[in-house]
Amino acid sequence: MCDQISVFFPAIIHVGNQFIQTIKQETYIENPATKKWHLFQFNYPSGKSWRAIINNKPNFCPKCPSIYVTKFESYEQFFEATSSKAKHSPVNSKFAYLTSMGASRHNLFYALDVDGKFRHIGLTQLLDGWVKPDIQKIVPIQLLPNGKIIPLAHGTTLPTRFKTVHTSLVPSEPGAYNLHIAKEALKSDSPDVALLLLSLMAEISTQSFEGVLPGIDIILSGLINNQVHEITNNGKWRIAPTQLRMLRALYHESNGWWEWLWVDGKFRPQFQPNQNY
Protein backbone atom coordinates (compact mmCIF):
# COMPACT_ATOMS: atom_id res chain seq x y z
CA MET A 1 0.00 0.00 0.00
CA CYS A 2 1.33 3.46 -0.90
CA ASP A 3 2.06 6.02 1.77
CA GLN A 4 -0.39 8.93 1.74
CA ILE A 5 -0.56 12.42 3.22
CA SER A 6 -2.99 15.35 2.97
CA VAL A 7 -2.19 19.05 3.32
CA PHE A 8 -4.59 21.95 3.76
CA PHE A 9 -4.31 25.57 2.62
CA PRO A 10 -6.36 28.55 3.85
CA ALA A 11 -8.22 30.66 1.31
CA ILE A 12 -10.76 33.47 1.06
CA ILE A 13 -13.45 33.53 -1.62
CA HIS A 14 -16.21 36.00 -2.49
CA VAL A 15 -19.75 34.63 -2.29
CA GLY A 16 -22.70 36.91 -2.93
CA ASN A 17 -21.94 40.16 -1.17
CA GLN A 18 -19.49 38.88 1.39
CA PHE A 19 -16.15 37.14 1.77
CA ILE A 20 -15.85 33.78 3.50
CA GLN A 21 -12.81 31.84 4.63
CA THR A 22 -12.46 28.30 3.41
CA ILE A 23 -9.72 25.76 2.67
CA LYS A 24 -8.34 23.77 -0.20
CA GLN A 25 -7.10 20.23 0.29
CA GLU A 26 -4.50 18.27 -1.61
CA THR A 27 -3.81 14.57 -1.06
CA TYR A 28 -0.61 12.94 -2.31
CA ILE A 29 0.60 9.36 -2.45
CA GLU A 30 4.21 8.23 -2.65
CA ASN A 31 5.68 6.17 -5.46
CA PRO A 32 7.68 3.50 -3.58
CA ALA A 33 10.06 3.13 -6.51
CA THR A 34 11.10 6.78 -6.83
CA LYS A 35 10.14 8.13 -3.37
CA LYS A 36 8.36 11.01 -5.11
CA TRP A 37 4.86 12.19 -4.29
CA HIS A 38 2.01 12.39 -6.80
CA LEU A 39 -1.19 14.43 -6.48
CA PHE A 40 -4.00 11.93 -5.94
CA GLN A 41 -6.92 14.17 -5.10
CA PHE A 42 -7.66 17.87 -4.66
CA ASN A 43 -10.59 20.00 -3.59
CA TYR A 44 -10.38 23.74 -4.22
CA PRO A 45 -12.61 26.53 -2.82
CA SER A 46 -13.71 27.33 -6.38
CA GLY A 47 -15.52 24.00 -6.41
CA LYS A 48 -12.99 22.41 -8.73
CA SER A 49 -12.32 18.89 -7.51
CA TRP A 50 -10.48 15.91 -8.90
CA ARG A 51 -9.41 12.50 -7.76
CA ALA A 52 -7.72 9.46 -9.17
CA ILE A 53 -9.37 6.07 -9.00
CA ILE A 54 -7.27 2.92 -9.11
CA ASN A 55 -8.95 -0.27 -10.28
CA ASN A 56 -8.87 -1.86 -6.85
CA LYS A 57 -10.62 1.14 -5.33
CA PRO A 58 -14.43 1.37 -4.94
CA ASN A 59 -16.25 3.00 -7.84
CA PHE A 60 -17.07 6.67 -7.35
CA CYS A 61 -20.65 7.75 -6.83
CA PRO A 62 -22.28 8.81 -10.15
CA LYS A 63 -24.44 11.23 -8.17
CA CYS A 64 -21.43 13.45 -7.54
CA PRO A 65 -20.88 15.12 -10.95
CA SER A 66 -18.89 17.99 -9.42
CA ILE A 67 -15.95 15.66 -8.81
CA TYR A 68 -13.86 15.05 -11.91
CA VAL A 69 -12.50 11.51 -11.78
CA THR A 70 -9.75 9.84 -13.76
CA LYS A 71 -9.54 6.08 -13.57
CA PHE A 72 -6.26 4.20 -13.80
CA GLU A 73 -5.79 0.47 -14.19
CA SER A 74 -2.92 0.34 -11.71
CA TYR A 75 -0.78 2.48 -9.44
CA GLU A 76 2.05 2.09 -11.93
CA GLN A 77 -0.12 3.62 -14.65
CA PHE A 78 -1.11 6.46 -12.33
CA PHE A 79 2.51 7.18 -11.38
CA GLU A 80 3.58 7.19 -15.02
CA ALA A 81 0.75 9.52 -16.09
CA THR A 82 1.50 12.03 -13.32
CA SER A 83 5.30 11.73 -13.24
CA SER A 84 5.94 15.16 -14.77
CA LYS A 85 4.36 16.87 -11.74
CA ALA A 86 5.69 14.59 -9.01
CA LYS A 87 7.21 16.30 -5.95
CA HIS A 88 9.97 15.45 -3.52
CA SER A 89 7.54 16.28 -0.71
CA PRO A 90 3.82 17.03 -0.46
CA VAL A 91 4.69 19.77 2.05
CA ASN A 92 6.22 22.45 -0.15
CA SER A 93 4.61 25.60 1.19
CA LYS A 94 5.16 27.46 4.42
CA PHE A 95 1.40 28.00 4.54
CA ALA A 96 0.56 24.30 4.43
CA TYR A 97 -1.30 22.86 7.41
CA LEU A 98 -1.76 19.24 8.42
CA THR A 99 -5.40 19.61 9.47
CA SER A 100 -8.40 21.49 8.13
CA MET A 101 -8.80 23.12 11.55
CA GLY A 102 -5.26 24.46 11.37
CA ALA A 103 -5.92 26.00 7.96
CA SER A 104 -9.22 27.47 9.08
CA ARG A 105 -7.48 29.27 11.97
CA HIS A 106 -5.12 31.11 9.63
CA ASN A 107 -5.92 34.79 9.96
CA LEU A 108 -3.66 36.87 7.72
CA PHE A 109 -3.94 37.27 3.96
CA TYR A 110 -2.81 39.76 1.33
CA ALA A 111 -4.79 41.50 -1.39
CA LEU A 112 -4.28 43.87 -4.28
CA ASP A 113 -5.89 47.22 -3.44
CA VAL A 114 -7.47 48.61 -6.61
CA ASP A 115 -9.08 51.97 -5.86
CA GLY A 116 -10.14 50.82 -2.41
CA LYS A 117 -11.41 47.44 -3.60
CA PHE A 118 -9.59 44.24 -2.77
CA ARG A 119 -8.65 41.85 -5.58
CA HIS A 120 -6.64 38.65 -5.94
CA ILE A 121 -6.59 37.68 -2.27
CA GLY A 122 -3.71 35.35 -1.49
CA LEU A 123 -1.38 34.11 1.21
CA THR A 124 1.80 35.96 0.31
CA GLN A 125 2.87 39.36 -0.93
CA LEU A 126 3.41 37.77 -4.34
CA LEU A 127 -0.28 36.82 -4.30
CA ASP A 128 0.34 33.19 -5.18
CA GLY A 129 1.85 33.64 -8.61
CA TRP A 130 0.19 36.87 -9.75
CA VAL A 131 2.44 39.38 -11.44
CA LYS A 132 3.84 41.59 -8.73
CA PRO A 133 2.49 45.15 -9.08
CA ASP A 134 3.42 48.21 -7.05
CA ILE A 135 4.27 46.79 -3.61
CA GLN A 136 2.38 49.65 -1.99
CA LYS A 137 -0.83 48.36 -3.55
CA ILE A 138 -0.45 44.96 -1.88
CA VAL A 139 -1.90 45.21 1.61
CA PRO A 140 -2.27 42.71 4.45
CA ILE A 141 -5.94 42.11 5.23
CA GLN A 142 -8.05 40.37 7.83
CA LEU A 143 -11.49 38.82 7.45
CA LEU A 144 -14.18 39.99 9.86
CA PRO A 145 -17.01 37.77 11.19
CA ASN A 146 -19.53 39.77 9.15
CA GLY A 147 -17.89 38.77 5.88
CA LYS A 148 -16.09 42.06 5.33
CA ILE A 149 -12.34 42.44 5.02
CA ILE A 150 -10.26 45.30 6.39
CA PRO A 151 -6.75 46.46 5.45
CA LEU A 152 -4.01 46.28 8.06
CA ALA A 153 -0.86 48.35 8.38
CA HIS A 154 1.94 47.57 5.95
CA GLY A 155 4.43 45.23 7.56
CA THR A 156 1.80 43.39 9.62
CA THR A 157 2.85 39.80 10.19
CA LEU A 158 1.26 36.78 11.81
CA PRO A 159 1.13 36.72 15.62
CA THR A 160 4.06 34.75 17.02
CA ARG A 161 1.97 31.71 17.87
CA PHE A 162 0.76 31.38 14.27
CA LYS A 163 4.01 32.46 12.69
CA THR A 164 5.98 29.66 14.29
CA VAL A 165 3.89 26.96 12.64
CA HIS A 166 5.24 28.07 9.28
CA THR A 167 8.86 28.16 10.35
CA SER A 168 9.09 24.39 10.43
CA LEU A 169 7.57 24.04 6.97
CA VAL A 170 9.94 26.25 4.99
CA PRO A 171 11.27 24.11 2.09
CA SER A 172 14.69 22.55 2.69
CA GLU A 173 16.62 19.63 1.21
CA PRO A 174 13.92 19.20 -1.51
CA GLY A 175 11.26 18.96 1.18
CA ALA A 176 12.81 15.98 2.98
CA TYR A 177 12.82 17.75 6.35
CA ASN A 178 9.28 19.03 5.81
CA LEU A 179 8.08 15.52 5.10
CA HIS A 180 9.89 14.09 8.12
CA ILE A 181 8.38 16.50 10.63
CA ALA A 182 4.94 16.29 8.98
CA LYS A 183 4.91 12.52 9.47
CA GLU A 184 6.14 12.92 13.02
CA ALA A 185 3.58 15.61 13.83
CA LEU A 186 0.78 13.36 12.58
CA LYS A 187 1.50 11.13 15.58
CA SER A 188 -0.10 13.87 17.67
CA ASP A 189 -3.83 14.30 18.23
CA SER A 190 -3.30 17.90 17.07
CA PRO A 191 -0.58 17.89 14.37
CA ASP A 192 -0.55 21.64 13.75
CA VAL A 193 -0.17 22.28 17.47
CA ALA A 194 2.69 19.78 17.56
CA LEU A 195 4.43 21.82 14.86
CA LEU A 196 3.96 24.96 16.92
CA LEU A 197 5.56 23.20 19.88
CA LEU A 198 8.50 22.06 17.75
CA SER A 199 9.09 25.56 16.39
CA LEU A 200 8.90 27.09 19.85
CA MET A 201 11.42 24.60 21.25
CA ALA A 202 13.80 25.33 18.36
CA GLU A 203 13.19 29.07 18.73
CA ILE A 204 14.09 29.02 22.44
CA SER A 205 17.23 26.99 21.79
CA THR A 206 18.33 29.20 18.90
CA GLN A 207 17.84 32.49 20.72
CA SER A 208 19.74 31.12 23.72
CA PHE A 209 22.50 29.09 22.05
CA GLU A 210 22.43 30.12 18.35
CA GLY A 211 21.20 26.70 17.27
CA VAL A 212 19.42 23.56 18.40
CA LEU A 213 21.39 22.37 21.40
CA PRO A 214 21.71 18.57 21.85
CA GLY A 215 19.66 17.72 24.91
CA ILE A 216 17.51 20.85 24.64
CA ASP A 217 14.41 18.64 24.71
CA ILE A 218 15.47 17.13 28.03
CA ILE A 219 16.27 20.53 29.54
CA LEU A 220 13.00 22.10 28.41
CA SER A 221 10.99 19.11 29.61
CA GLY A 222 12.01 20.05 33.14
CA LEU A 223 10.20 23.36 32.73
CA ILE A 224 6.82 21.90 31.79
CA ASN A 225 5.50 21.63 35.33
CA ASN A 226 7.89 24.19 36.79
CA GLN A 227 6.14 27.27 38.13
CA VAL A 228 9.17 29.52 37.54
CA HIS A 229 8.11 32.41 35.29
CA GLU A 230 11.54 33.30 33.95
CA ILE A 231 14.66 31.21 33.43
CA THR A 232 18.24 32.45 33.52
CA ASN A 233 21.44 30.42 33.53
CA ASN A 234 24.58 32.51 33.71
CA GLY A 235 23.09 34.79 31.11
CA LYS A 236 22.86 32.03 28.47
CA TRP A 237 19.16 31.30 28.60
CA ARG A 238 16.81 33.72 26.91
CA ILE A 239 13.25 32.56 27.56
CA ALA A 240 10.46 35.10 27.84
CA PRO A 241 7.63 34.45 30.34
CA THR A 242 5.17 34.25 27.43
CA GLN A 243 7.32 31.54 25.84
CA LEU A 244 7.23 29.50 29.04
CA ARG A 245 3.46 29.75 29.23
CA MET A 246 3.13 28.84 25.57
CA LEU A 247 5.52 25.90 25.98
CA ARG A 248 3.33 24.39 28.68
CA ALA A 249 0.11 25.08 26.80
CA LEU A 250 1.33 23.55 23.54
CA TYR A 251 2.70 20.50 25.34
CA HIS A 252 -0.70 19.78 26.88
CA GLU A 253 -2.63 20.59 23.70
CA SER A 254 -0.44 18.41 21.46
CA ASN A 255 -0.39 15.63 24.07
CA GLY A 256 3.27 14.86 23.50
CA TRP A 257 6.83 16.09 23.31
CA TRP A 258 9.62 16.39 20.74
CA GLU A 259 12.96 14.65 21.17
CA TRP A 260 16.02 15.30 19.00
CA LEU A 261 17.69 12.02 18.07
CA TRP A 262 20.41 10.86 15.71
CA VAL A 263 18.73 8.75 13.03
CA ASP A 264 20.67 7.47 10.00
CA GLY A 265 23.40 10.01 10.63
CA LYS A 266 21.01 12.97 10.91
CA PHE A 267 20.07 14.93 14.02
CA ARG A 268 16.31 15.23 13.70
CA PRO A 269 13.30 15.79 15.95
CA GLN A 270 10.86 12.96 16.60
CA PHE A 271 7.48 13.36 18.23
CA GLN A 272 6.75 11.18 21.26
CA PRO A 273 3.03 11.13 22.11
CA ASN A 274 1.64 10.74 25.62
CA GLN A 275 4.86 11.57 27.44
CA ASN A 276 4.45 12.63 31.04
CA TYR A 277 7.06 15.05 32.34
- Give the three-class secondary structure for 202: helix
For the ranges 71-85, 125-139, 170-184, 201-215, the maximum mean pLDDT occurs at 71-85
User: Is the pLDDT reported for residue 62 higher than 70?
Assistant: no
Residue 23: what are its φ and ψ, rounded to 5°?
A: -140, 160
Pairing of strands 138-143, 67-72: unpaired
Rg (CA), the chain: 21
pLDDT at residue number 175: 79
User: Is the pLDDT reported for residue 63 higher than 60?
Assistant: no
Residue 133: what are its φ and ψ, rounded to 5°?
A: -85, -160
Poorest-pLDDT segment among 71-85, 128-142, 244-258: 128-142
User: Is the pLDDT reported for residue 157 higher than 60?
Assistant: yes
Mean pLDDT, residues 31-40: 95
Contact between 197 and 162 under an 8 Å Cβ cutoff? The reply is no
Query: Which residue ranges make up each domain of the chain?
Result: 4-87, 108-157, 161-273
Poorest-pLDDT segment among 116-130, 184-198, 219-233, 256-270: 219-233
Residues in contact with 44: Cβ distance below 8 Å, sequence separation at least 6, in sequence order = 11, 24
